[in-house]
Structure 1
Amino acid sequence: MLTRIWKTYKKQCIIAGVALAAVLIPLYLYFMFQTGIWYQDAFLAEQRDGSFQGKKDGIHYVLHITPTQNGAQIDFSVNGQSRQYEVVKTELDGTHGAQFYENGTPVFEGRVLTSNARTHDYMIATEDFDIVDGLDFRIRGDTEPEPVEYFPGYGTQYGWTVMRLEESYDTRGEPLMLLPALIVAFFLWVDILYPDLFFTLRHGRYVDGDCEPSEYYRFWQVIGRVISAIVIVIFLWMGLLNIV
């Protein structure tokens, strides 16, 4: 069916494909390389005013990070409920440390242990290296989480501070996921453009003279094209949401 449509309306298909690609590709790349901050399973996109905003599962996050001389002030709100934090970078016995404030009140001072500096993941420990806070994550369950679970821990606050001071933010998507999508798309394009090519490469050497694919082969060829298209969409979706 796809082959008949291609042969009958080849010019129209090319024009429609080029027009669709001209719209979707720039839009997709824009969202893929959009800068911001991943928090739990939500992406907080960077806004023109310097804030970060995002929404996930009906929860709206707004984040403001203001650098200070030795740290940052953080204003974070969840569905309009706001909290103010401040992180002050210090040193403890020659190692990195930090003081944490909430709504102007000191709440903790400890050591900073690097979990993954590239992704700005940090663990916070006491002076005796007892870990008190690590990565923020939430396990989905049957009950709705308490509002406090949506607010950041010490490790996330410190990571946001480092991000702001270094101006090194996350991107929404993962460009490496484009590679498998392009590989599958290439083989799909070749199969549509030359529908007998893979049949000839696989079976032609065993037959003398011309040979035509059977209806059974054509049926599974169509199924294969549909599966390939679905796989491409899955790869693109995973790349856009940074699921790796």
Structure 2
Amino acid sequence: MAAKLLDSNPPASPPRSVGRSMLWSLASIALGVVLILNSSGTPADGVPRARPGAFASAPASRPSAHGDEKAMPRSAPKRLSILEIAVDAPFTTLSIGKSGQLDAPPPDDNNLVGWFKGGPSPGEPGAAIVAGHVDTKTGPAVFLQLDALKPGSKVDITRDDGTVATFKVDSVESFSKARFPDERVYSDTPDPQLRLITCGGSYDREAKDYTENVVVFAHLDSAKRA
């Protein structure tokens, strides 16, 4: 299932302009989870049903793909910091609503990231899912420069338990929404990993959709007290 973006108020100019909405498909091959980031505040229709079990944590006893960093216990994230692209943003939690869809962060806040609380927390075994706007109706948003990260870039997440989980970027990739690799992005991992997701590519005014999703793949590199 490819990721989509819906927008009831098309922008004046196609690429990355103000007032666009974002919709990510947070889905594995068998279990779909949808995240809508709607900058206009209007509900999107035709969204697939969702089940949170797609993001269950991996057993801690399985070997780590990266080998050296011990997994952290569960703790909700409080703040995201990416110095390289001047990101310093608080978290809101995202959950499955009564409609069967993943609730969205507030549409009028351009400096807010969302964590899917039904999946692993950052630092736990598994892939923690974090999403943010590329822009809102008020202007550029928190993940506007997400695609500028590169392998080796660092992502710091301060957690409720007073620890900071530092992730190292493995790759930054853009995927066509028609060929979005759900299994690679969302499926379970034996070690603590992170996915940062936003919209990318050009904006198709006729389809009212971005053509791509930008995904940052990262792994837990270190942990310390805040």
Same fold (TM over 0.5): no
TM-score by length of 2: 0.25
> Higher relative contact order at CA 8 Å, sep ≥6: structure 1 or structure 2?
2
Q: Which has the higher strand share?
A: 2
Q: Which has the higher helix share?
A: 1
